Amino acid sequence: MNQQEAIITEIMKIDASVFSDDQYFNPDGYLNKIYRFLNKIKPGKVYTVSNLANAETKQLFTEIVKLYICEVKHTTIIFIRDDYKQFRKNPTQEGK
């Protein structure tokens, strides 16, 4: 099992409905909302998971960020530490 499959398995354990057709293909589905947010975050700013997700969705939110990092090959989003509490988008090296 690769890392992406392991993350998907973990998400399925937390909330399998994230991948149901009515959520996965719905622009307002939880996964798509998080992906849109991650696509728009500002480089250099530190984001704290507990400020973005409530206690019930914190683990799911974290797993979706991990999945985004695996799936979106051009992303520079990283977790700051191994505790997965904070993340940021590194500036790109484009134009240098």
Query: Is 96 a domain residue?
Result: no
Which pTM does this prediction carry? 0.90
Q: Domain range holding 23?
A: 3-89
Query: Is 12 a domain residue?
Result: yes
Contact 48, 15 (CB under 8 A): no
Torsion of CA 87, 14, 19, 90, to 10 degrees: 10
Which residues pair with residue 77 across a beta bridge?
Answer: 89
Query: Is 22 a domain residue?
Result: yes
Query: Is 94 a domain residue?
Result: no
Give 95's pLDDT tier (boundaries 50, 70, 90): very low
The pLDDT tens digits for 27-72 are 999 999 999 999 999 999 999 999 999 999 999 999 999 999 999 8
Q: What is the DSSP string of 45-95?
A: -EEEHHHHS-TTTHHHHHHHHHHHHHH-TT--EEESSTT-SEEEEPPP-TT
Number of domain units in the chain? 1
Query: Is 95 a domain residue?
Result: no
Query: Is 80 a domain residue?
Result: yes
Given strand 77-79, what is the order of strands in its sheet? 46-48, 86-89, 77-79
Task: Round the average pLDDT of the chain to a whole number and report it.
Answer: 92
